[in-house]
């Protein structure tokens, strides 16, 4: 994966007509962009290309229109927000392919940009239909992919177009590859991986990867419940995956014969009623009564996690450590994030829910690198080849 990809820094982009795939799949609220983080993440690439005199067309999907035109998923709110951010009018076309695009692109002056319509209005996009990819590519000289969050999908605008245009990494794509690799390839040690979130089954390959790579694996969240159940604890009404007990046991066994230690919670916040501000208690895993459910790590567990984090050179973290959507069960996630913030460890974070949790807790600024990918980040960490990265040109050769 560390095969270095050719990026927009390696070629002359001046005057070139460039199709740039971005991840502008932003949350909307009554026709307005509610969170523009993904738009801002693409700005370094957009600004660099424009300053070097490229003629730029941005393309993204938005939501799940399933191959049909749907008025509420048009890119207009994105164009409006991007215009505000760039302090210049960003013209949005009504289509993503065809003569209208060709004409508009041919009229762009050096350093000007436009936005194409939602790529997924055509079913050729998700089907990676070669004829749709060819149409997409037709008006352009170069293809730049900055949509790391969609790189695990082989679609026309992430993979197909690369058959028709030289394909380069944008600055965000390049940074994601570099940052996510720092914890995979010859990482500085000690390397501590923190894994939380809901399911062992979603993350099995990531757990195994870090078990082979990290010095310590700290486990929290619903995932920890499954490990504790596998160890024989009675978890009352807690969420855990009954069909993953064998897998969890196998992982615990593997950790005994590997150099990576799995650390499970020794205390848990439990509640009978999962509601904001509901009554909760802190108990050891052997004291969870019938109707109670474990919804967060406890303070002693956080203190143990803290000890490992403070000794770490690198911390990589995926998945919240409790039901963060329901305060105060965001507490374990908050405490651990604060410990990371105060430590000297280099921290890399990925996963949709954890990123959202840290944002809500206003702790994002203290993390060294926050990945923009959800599923893409997990697949990268699993060691899978991401099709949208594979098709980019390699630096050597
Ligand atoms: P990410 O998106 O960061 O990879 P996941 O999608 O795997 O994380 O998991 C996030 C979900 O895990 C959240 O909805 C959260 O409520 C849930 N979760 C965390 N801890 C628990 C728990 N103890 N019991 C039930 N659900 C939990
Ligand atoms: Mg999630």
The last residue of one of the domains, among 154, 172, 190, is 172
Going by CA atoms, what residue is nearest to atom 7 of ligand 1? 197
Q: Write out 104-142 in H/E/C secondary structure.
A: HHHHCCCCCEEECCCHHHCHHHHCCCHHHHHHHHCCCCE
- Asked if residue 255 and residue 110 are part of one domain, the reply reads no
Residue found under tokens 């960003």: 90
Q: What is the number of structural domains in the chain?
A: 2
For residue 277, report the distance from its CA to the centre of ligand 1, in Å.
Answer: 18
Whether residue 367 lies inside any domain: the answer is yes
294 contacts: CB under 8 Å, gap ≥ 6: 225, 228, 235, 236, 238, 268, 269, 270, 285, 288
Bridge partners of 20, per DSSP, are 58, 144
The last residue of one of the domains, among 116, 149, 172, is 172
Give mean pLDDT in consecutive 10-residue pieces for the chain, a chain of 397 residues.
84 98 95 94 98 98 97 98 97 98 98 98 98 98 97 98 98 96 90 97 95 97 98 98 97 94 98 96 97 98 98 97 97 97 95 92 94 94 95 88
Cβ-contact 121, 97 below 8 angstroms: no
Gap between the Cα atoms of 52 and 12, Å rounded: 8
- Asked if residue 140 and residue 227 are part of one domain, the reply reads no
Whether residue 392 lies inside any domain: the answer is no
Pocket of ligand 1 (CB under 6 A): 196-198, 202, 221-222, 225, 239, 294-295, 318-320, 322-323, 325, 351-354, 374
Q: Domain containing 221: what range?
A: 179-382
Pairing label, strands 191-195, 346-350: unpaired
- Asked if residue 357 and residue 216 are part of one domain, the reply reads yes
For residue 245, report the distance from its CA to the centre of ligand 1, in Å.
Answer: 18
- Asked if residue 184 and residue 150 are part of one domain, the reply reads no
For residue 352, report the distance from its CA to the centre of ligand 2, in Å.
Answer: 5
Gap between the Cα atoms of 325 and 3, Å rounded: 39
For residue 238, report the distance from its CA to the centre of ligand 1, in Å.
Answer: 13
Q: Among 5, 21, 38, 203, which one carries the catalytic annotation?
A: 38
Whether residue 391 lies inside any domain: the answer is no
Gap between the Cα atoms of 317 and 297, Å rounded: 15
Gap between the Cα atoms of 236 and 2, Å rounded: 45
For residue 373, report the distance from its CA to the centre of ligand 2, in Å.
Answer: 11
- Asked if residue 19 and residue 168 are part of one domain, the reply reads yes
245 contacts: CB under 8 Å, gap ≥ 6: 226, 229, 230
Neighbours of 307 (CB within 10 A): 12
Which of 207, 223, 241, 323 is the best mutation target for the ligand 1 pocket, counting ligand atoms within 8 Å of the beta carbon and taking the most? 323
Whether residue 393 lies inside any domain: the answer is no
State residue 1's pLDDT score: 47
Ligand 1 atom showing the smallest separation from residue 378 Cα: 4
State residue 2's pLDDT score: 56
- Asked if residue 206 and residue 146 are part of one domain, the reply reads no
Gap between the Cα atoms of 25 and 36, Å rounded: 10
- Asked if residue 147 and residue 73 are part of one domain, the reply reads yes
Which of 196, 264, 267 is the best mutation target for the ligand 1 pocket, counting ligand atoms within 8 Å of the beta carbon and taking the most? 196
Active site residue 209: no
The last residue of one of the domains, among 140, 172, 204, is 172
- Asked if residue 187 and residue 167 are part of one domain, the reply reads no
Gap between the Cα atoms of 128 and 160, Å rounded: 6
Gap between the Cα atoms of 71 and 344, Å rounded: 48
Nearest ligand to the CA of 355 is 1
Whether residue 139 lies inside any domain: the answer is yes
Going by CA atoms, what residue is nearest to atom 5 of ligand 1? 197
- Asked if residue 105 and residue 38 are part of one domain, the reply reads yes
The H or E element containing residue 193 is strand 191-195
358 contacts: CB under 8 Å, gap ≥ 6: 333, 337, 349, 364, 367, 370
- Asked if residue 143 and residue 245 are part of one domain, the reply reads no
Cβ-contact 15, 53 below 8 angstroms: yes
pTM of the model: 0.93
For residue 92, report the distance from its CA to the centre of ligand 1, in Å.
Answer: 37
Whether residue 394 lies inside any domain: the answer is no
The H or E element containing residue 295 is strand 293-297
Q: Among 53, 111, 352, 383, which one carries the catalytic annotation?
A: 352
Which domain CATH number covers 228? 3.40.50.1260
- Asked if residue 115 and residue 98 are part of one domain, the reply reads yes
Whether residue 388 lies inside any domain: the answer is no
Going by CA atoms, what residue is nearest to atom 10 of ligand 1? 197
203 contacts: CB under 8 Å, gap ≥ 6: 195, 197, 223, 318, 319, 378
Ligand 1 atom showing the smallest separation from residue 198 Cα: 12
Nearest ligand to the CA of 354 is 1
Residues in the chain: 397
- Asked if residue 104 and residue 159 are part of one domain, the reply reads yes
Active site residue 38: yes
State residue 245's pLDDT score: 97
Q: Dihedral through CA 181, CA 183, CA 184, CA 186, nearest 10?
A: 100
Whether residue 316 lies inside any domain: the answer is yes
Helix/strand number for the chain, H first, E second: 15, 17
Q: Among 63, 67, 111, 375, which one carries the catalytic annotation?
A: 375
């Amino acid at each position: 994966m560390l095969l270095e990809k050719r990026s927009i820094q390696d070629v002359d982009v001046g005057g070139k007509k460039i199709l740039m795939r971005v991840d502008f799949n932003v949350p909307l609220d009554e026709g307005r962009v509610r969170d523009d983080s993904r738009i801002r993440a693409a700005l370094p690439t957009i600004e660099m290309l424009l300053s070097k005199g490229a003629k730029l067309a941005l393309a993204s999907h938005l939501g799940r229109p399933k191959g049909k035109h749907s008025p509420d998923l048009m890119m207009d709110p994105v164009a409006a927000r991007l215009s505000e951010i760039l302090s210049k009018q960003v013209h949005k076309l009504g289509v993503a392919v065809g003569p209208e695009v060709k004409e508009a692109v041919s009229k762009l002056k050096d350093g000007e940009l436009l936005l194409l319509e939602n790529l997924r209005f055509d079913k050729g996009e998700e089907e990676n239909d070669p004829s749709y990819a060819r149409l997409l590519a037709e008006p352009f000289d170069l293809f730049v992919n900055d949509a790391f969050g969609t790189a695990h999908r082989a679609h026309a605008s992430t993979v197909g177009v690369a058959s028709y245009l030289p394909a380069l990494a944008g600055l965000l794509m390049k940074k994601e590859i570099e940052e996510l690799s720092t914890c995979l390839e010859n990482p500085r040690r000690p390397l501590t991986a923190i894994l939380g979130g809901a399911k062992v089954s979603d993350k099995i390959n990531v757990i195994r990867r870090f078990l082979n790579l990290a010095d310590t694996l700290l486990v929290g969240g619903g995932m920890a419940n499954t490990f504790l159940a596998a160890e024989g604890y009675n978890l009352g009404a807690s969420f855990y995956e009954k069909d993953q007990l064998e897998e969890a046991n196998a992982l615990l066994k593997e950790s005994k014969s590997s150099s990576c230690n799995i650390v499970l919670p020794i205390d848990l916040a439990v509640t009978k009623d999962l509601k904001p501000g509901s009554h909760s208690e802190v108990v050891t895993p052997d004291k969870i009564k019938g109707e109670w459910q474990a919804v967060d790590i406890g303070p002693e567990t956080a203190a143990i996690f803290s000890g490992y984090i403070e000794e770490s050179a690198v911390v990589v973290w995926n998945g919240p450590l409790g039901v963060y959507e329901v305060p105060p069960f965001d507490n374990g996630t908050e405490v651990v994030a604060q410990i990371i913030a105060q430590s000297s460890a280099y921290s890399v974070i990925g996963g949709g829910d954890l990123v959202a949790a840290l944002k809500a807790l206003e702790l994002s600024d203290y993390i060294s690198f926050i990945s923009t990918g959800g599923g893409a980040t997990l697949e990268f960490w699993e060691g899978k080849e991401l099709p949208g990265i594979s098709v980019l040109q390699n630096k050597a050769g």
